[in-house]
Structure formats: structure tokens, C-alpha cells
A and B are shown apart, each in its own frame.
Chain A
Amino acid sequence: MQRAIIEPNPTPPADSKAASPSKPGSLLQHPNSVAAEVRNLRKIYNVGSPQAHEALKDVNLSIRANEFFTLLGPSGCGKTTLLRILGGFEMLTSGTCRIFGEDVSRLPPEARPVNTVFQQYALFPHMTVRRNIAFGLEMLGKPKAEVERTVERMLDLVHMREYADRRPDTMSGGQRQRVALARALAPQPKLLLLDEPLSALDLKLRQKMRLELKSLQRETGITFIFVTHDQEEALAMSDRVAVISNGHLQQVGTPEDIYEQPQSRFVADFIGESNLIEAKVADSAGSEAAFDIEGFGQVQAPIGQRVEVGQQVWLSIRPERLVLGAVHREGPQATVTDRTYLGNAVEYHLRAGKHALTARSPRGGLRGRQDFAPGDAVSLGFEPGSIKVLLS
């Protein structure tokens, strides 16, 4: 854990949030406006000390209003640091951070139109559910009647009316999760930050909460920024995903983009599963190129960027897009080394020269799909457009 450097607040703190010129109120944010924007963002912990650690390296990112945006990456990649910088819990080392056009780089957390759902919820244990939800509204100095009205609305929104007068420590994880959401949504923030809010729940509840979160986002129209290391969660809920690794932004795009068009080996490997094969450019003509794979043969693939003949690249193929067939024609071949029955699919582990590959075939052996046993020789086919060429 790092120390949060909180700058002294130049204006009276209680008023600054309420008085900020563009404080919430309306949920109708301009659909095409930019909700959050970071430019050349760098964060170095323990600057100048031997333990100095660069958590974010020159990150540029633009998050649109009304978007469900996910920061995805393995633990320690910097995604949580980015969220904490947006929330004001960490000060950035250099660069700028804007929220709806306003530069918030130097603002303390209470002066930002941003609320957070914490990983362990951080509900106030000495208050009832109702008082927890009212807290943010009271801090904004809302009139009593409005506070009560909003709290009631929030209780309904997250279906927690019957628990309104209970204390958090008497409730289950899922219930606390809902209260944390209601508490963060009550002051109608412009931006809702969610720090792995589902990680403490069991699988069933997690899947249910995914849908609830998504519909909450649609109902409220508030921009959600969601941090997770769970790629399935990210693909299922997000409008757009930013994949982060090692302090670098790897790729930003819709879940389909990220999954179908990975731009780096890291993304291809981290999102879903991929067969990554080293190859050399044999020939390149326009938008197509031929690649030599050692001990395997030659394959054709579309290319998005210029490549030089002889250049070293990586080819990525999803296991479900690798088609196995009986050996009766020219082309790449492999030997089945293992077969795993998965219920809705069959997974084959293959060896082709020095390359180990994985293929997944839906309901192997049924509906005309041929099944194979370990030791069988198979021919490898690639669905059109299934091979992605990765330069890094």
C-alpha cells in the first residue's frame, strides 16, 4: 500500500463539491462528450527512493460519457492505480487528468464528481443501510426531504428496502455489494468507479450481479469505470475495454475488437486462449501475406500493417477456429497428443513439428464433425480470417 498524498484543500471542503460548477444533478450527459480523459499520465511510487516503481507509463485514454468502460489486466498491471488517480486517492506524477473537461489533477477526492464502489465495499459499520446511503447526500448539504426521497429511491433501485435499518455486518456479501452501489450512486456522481466489486462474491452471485450492474448502468446513465482482472467479466459487461499490462495501455476497443482483433501477443494471450506461433514473412502483396512456420509449412493471412519479407512475427489463432480434418490433402498436419471432453466441446492438444497447439471443436464427433483419438494424424485447417498477425 502506498501513502495517499492528499493536498490541502484551498476552499472550504464541505462546499467545494457542491459548488463545483458542473456538479451532477442531471443524468442527461451529452452522449458524445468525454467523461474522463488522461493525457501522458505517469505514476511513480516512492519517487527518488531505491524502491521507486513506475506503475503507469505514459497512459493516454479517453472515456466517453454513458459508457461502461473496463480497465482489464493482471494484478499489479496498474489498473487500480489508474482508478485511484481518477478518484483522487493517489496523486499523479505527471500528465493531466480531466473529468468532463475539468482538470482534476490537483483536486482532493471530496471535490471530484466521482464516487467509488470499493473492493471490500467499505460500508460504514456504525451506520444502518439507510444512513450509509444518505451519507454522500448529507455531505453535499442536500435538504433533508431530498435526502430521504433519494435514499428511498436508491433502496428500491438495488432491492434493499427490507434491509434499510440493518447494519452492514449482519448482511451477506451480495447484500453489502448492493448497499455499496446504492451509496455510491445516491449523490448522482458523473463517474462511478468500481474496484473489482465482484471479486469477493461466489460464482453464481457474481454472474447475477454482472447483469444487475449492467442494467443499473443503463438505467442511471452514469459512466461506469470498472476495474477487473477477470476477462470474462470484462467481455460480458463492457461497452469498451482497455487492456493494461505492466503500466502500459495495450489496446482499447469493444469486447469484440479485443477478442477478435488483438494487436499484441499479450492481448491475444490474456483475453481468452490463443495459439501463438512464431513465423517469418515469406511474401507480402497488398493486404495479404504468406508466412513460413518452421516445421509446419506456409500459411496465408491478411495483414493490417506493412511487413517486410523475412520479418519475424507472431501468428495467433483461437482454438475454436482451428479446424481438424482427416489427412487426405496437402497442407499442415499435426498429431493429436491428448483429447479432453468438456461437455459442450472437445479440446484436442496437438503437436506439429516443434509447436504445441490447442483446438476446440464443439460437440466433437457429432453432427458430422469427426472425432479423433490421441495418436491420430490430422490435417489443420484455418477458418478464413482466423489468423491474426502480431508484430509485438
Chain B
Amino acid sequence: MFGRSRLGGFFAGLAGLFLLLPLVAVIPFSFTPKRFLSMPDGEYSLRHYLAIFDPDTWLASIGTSTLVAILSSVIATALAAAFSIGIWLRRPASGRFLIGLVLLPIIVPPVTSAVALYFLLAQIGLLDTIPGLVLSHVVMIVPFSVIAILGALSRLDRNLELAARNLGASQLQSIFRVILPNIRFGLFAAWFVSLVMSWEESSVTLFVSGVNVITLPKRIWDNLRLDLDPAVAAISVIMIVATTLVILLRKSET
């Protein structure tokens, strides 16, 4: 409607400001010298940034989150690749149904998944353990990987697989030497999305862990509810800066 008019640019800027303002507001809070979340009044301090490096609390959680995110994103990508390539190759009559089934965790409210996973992990004794958390995250993030990889496969020429088979490659050889190399960008996208999804997963995490295993989102959550520790603001600033850097780097590449 506004096209390239100046008015359109103005409204787009307004919308951007509306989305970004709360993020920017957190920055001054992180520099407060006080023990609690407050606006600094003239004095600034980096003490809350130092607190992040406390090996017993924040640093431990960053480590846990990193480990869980790497494990679950790699497992999720591998599972999603196997599932998607299988569907793409065989095109079973039940393909739509199977894809729907895998995508369920996106459709079902997270709390429902969380309760289901809670009871499952309680049964098999993996509640509040790293393997249990990884399992839960994999269930929650596999759908996003599947979407990314199916998208990449849909752009792949089917004849490539036939050509490989025709030249004497077995099914497995054609997958590893022809199909996978040609969807490598899709695989990378799937892995990266999974990594981020796992890193910030909180709803299921809150149900299935929290005493022995505390991820970063869980610790932030606890702090916001109980302490109002300005370290939360410091962590947020670091994440905002990291995200901005990634976006800027990607822009300068293209």
C-alpha cells in the first residue's frame, strides 16, 4: 500500500522501533552498581558482567546449555536428514501422514509436550539428567530440521539419484556421495536452527530439569522470579550484541 513512499519507510521504522525498544532498554540496567535490577543513577559498574563468569552459577549454565544445544542439534539434524531423505526417495503413500506426525511438536502446545516428556523421562529414570534433556530437546526441534531439509530436497533434481544408481552406486553410496553433498546448505541451516532452538528452549526444560541440570534459560527464569539479579540484564546484552554481530557479518558477506 505504501510502496516505496517516504510514508512507508516511516511506518516501517516505527514498527522496528516498537520491536527494538524493549531490547535497548535492558542495556542501561546491566551497568547498575546495585545488587538488584535498577536504572543506574550516575554511577556505572561492570560487576554484573563479572558475575557471569562465576563457575558455579552462570558459567555452569552456559556450559550446560552449550553442551545440550550441540548434542541435540547434531542428533536432531541427523534424524531429520534420515527421515526426510527416506520420504524423498520412497515417496510412501503414508508420507504426508508421517510428516504430519513429525511436525506435531510444533502444533501441539509446548506444555502438552512438556507434560508428556516429563512422564516419559520419569518412567525411564532420565528426569533432570543431560541425556533426558537432550532427548526432550531433540523431540522439540526435529520438526524445524525436517522442514529445512525437506525444503532443500524439494529443490533437488530426482534424476541425480537415478543417475548415481545408474552409474553403479548403491542406495547408500548415492545418499552419501550425491544427495547429502547437494543439500549441504539445507543441512547446515537445519543444524543452525536446531542449535538456536535448543539454546533458547525453556518451556519443556522447565518441566524436565532444574535441580541437577540447569540451562541458561532456566537460570534466567529463576533469577527473574526470585532475585531480579542484574546479571540477567548483562547476559541479555551479551546475547543481543552477539546476535547483532551475526546479522551484520552475514550482511557484509553477501
What residues on B are CB-neighbors of A9 within 8 Å?
170-171
- B182 contacts A125, C-beta separation under 8 Å: yes
**Cβ-defined contact, A124 with B160, below 8 A:** yes
Known A125-B182, A126-B181, A126-B182: A135·B164 in contact at CB below 8 Å:
yes
- CB B180 to nearest CB in A, in angstroms, measures 10
B128 to chain A, nearest CB (A): 43
Residue of B at shortest CB range from A49?
Answer: B93
Q: Which residues of B contact A118 (CB under 8 A)?
A: 159, 162-163
Q: Is A374 an interface residue when CB atoms closer than 8 A count as contact? A: no
Mostly, the B contact residues are helix
Contacts of A14 in B (CB 8 A): 168, 170, 173
Q: Counting CB contacts under 8 A, is B223 at the interface? A: no
Q: Is B211 an interface residue (CB 8 A)?
A: no
Interface-facing stretch out of A106-114, A270-278, A298-306 = A106-114
Task: Check if A13 sits within 8 Å of B162, measured CB to CB.
Answer: no
B45 on the A face (CB < 8 A):
no
Q: Is the CB of A3 within 8 A of B90?
A: yes
Query: Contacts of B91 on A, CB cut-off 8 Å?
Result: 3
Instruction: Judge whether B168 and A136 touch: CB under 8 Å.
Output: yes
Contacts of A78 in B (CB 8 A): none
Residues of the A chain whose Cβ atoms lie less than 8 Å from the Cβ of B170: 9, 12-14, 110
Q: Is the CB of A140 within 8 A of B168?
A: yes
Query: Which chain A residues numbered 117 to 159 have a C-beta less than 8 Å away from chain B?
Result: 118-120, 122-126, 135-136, 139-140
B27 beta carbon closer than 8 Å to chain A: no
Nearest opposing residue in chain B for A122, CB measure: B159
Q: Is B247 an interface residue (CB 8 A)?
A: no
Complex CA–CA separation, A18 to B171 (angstroms): 16
Nearest opposing residue in chain B for A124, CB measure:
B178
The CA-CA distance from A124 to B159 in the complex, in Å, is 10
B21 interface hit (Cβ, 8 Å)? no
Interface assignment of A360: CB less than 8 Å from any CB of chain B: no
Is the CB of A73 closer than 8 A to any CB of chain B? no
Cβ A110 vs Cβ B165 within 8 A: yes
Residues of chain B at interface, number, CB under 8 A: 23
Q: CA–CA, A5 to B184, complex, Å? A: 27
The 0/1 profile, CB within 8 Å of A marked 1, for residues 151-168 of chain B is 000000111101111111
Pairwise interchain contact A108-B165, C-beta atoms closer than 8 A: yes
Determine the chain A residues whose CB is within 8 A of the CB of B157 once the complex forms. Answer: 120, 122
Q: Does A240 contact B (CB under 8 A)?
A: no
Cβ-defined contact, A110 with B160, below 8 A = no
Do residues A187 and B178 form an inter-chain contact, with CB atoms below 8 A? no
Q: Give the nearest-CB partner of B159 in chain A.
A: A122
B51 CB-CB contact with A under 8 Å: no
> Nearest Cβ in chain A — how far from B88, in angstroms?
11
CB-nearest residue of chain A to B181: A126
Q: Is the CB of B167 within 8 A of A4?
A: no
Residue of chain B at shortest CB distance from A87: B166
Given A9-B170, A124-B178, A126-B181, answer yes or no on A109-B160 (Cβ-Cβ < 8 Å).
Answer: no
Contacts of B163 in A (CB 8 A): 116, 118, 122-124
Q: How far is the CB of B173 from chain A (nearest CB, A)?
A: 7
Question: What chain A residues lie within 8 Å of B167 (beta carbons)?
Answer: 110, 115, 135-136, 139, 183-184, 187
A110 in contact with B168 given A122-B160, A124-B178 (CB within 8 Å): yes
Does B124 sit within 8 A of A, measured CB to CB? no
CA distance in complex: A183, B177 (Å): 16
- B193 near A: Cβ within 8 Å? no
What's the Cα separation between A140 and B166 when bound, in Å? 11
Does A6 lie at the interface of the complex (its beta carbon under 8 Å from any beta carbon of B)? yes
Q: Per-residue CB proximity of B75-116 to A under 8 Å, as 1/0?
A: 000000000000000110000000000000000000000000
- Residues of B within 8 Å of A125, CB to CB, are 160, 182
Query: Is the C-beta of B169 less than 8 angstroms from some C-beta in chain A?
Result: yes
Say whether B248 faces chain A, with CB atoms less than 8 Å apart: no
A348 interface hit (Cβ, 8 Å): no
Q: Does B172 contact A (CB under 8 A)?
A: yes
Q: Does A89 contact B (CB under 8 A)?
A: yes
Cα distance A126–B164 in the bound complex, in angstroms = 13
B interface list, Cβ under 8 A from A: 90-91, 157-160, 162-173, 177-178, 181-182, 184
Give chain A's interface residues, CB within 8 Å of chain B: 1, 3-4, 6, 9, 12-14, 17-18, 87-89, 108-110, 114-116, 118-120, 122-126, 135-136, 139-140, 183-184, 187
- A selection of 17 A-B contacts at a CB cut-off of 8 Å is A12-B170, A13-B172, A13-B173, A17-B168, A89-B162, A89-B166, A109-B162, A115-B166, A119-B159, A122-B159, A122-B163, A126-B181, A126-B184, A136-B167, A136-B168, A139-B169, A184-B166
Q: A3-B91, A88-B165 are in contact. List 8 more A-B contacts (CB 8 A).
A: A114-B166, A116-B163, A120-B159, A126-B182, A126-B184, A139-B164, A139-B168, A139-B173
Closest 10 pairs (CB-CB, A-B) = A13-B170, A136-B167, A139-B168, A122-B159, A122-B163, A109-B165, A17-B168, A126-B181, A118-B159, A116-B166
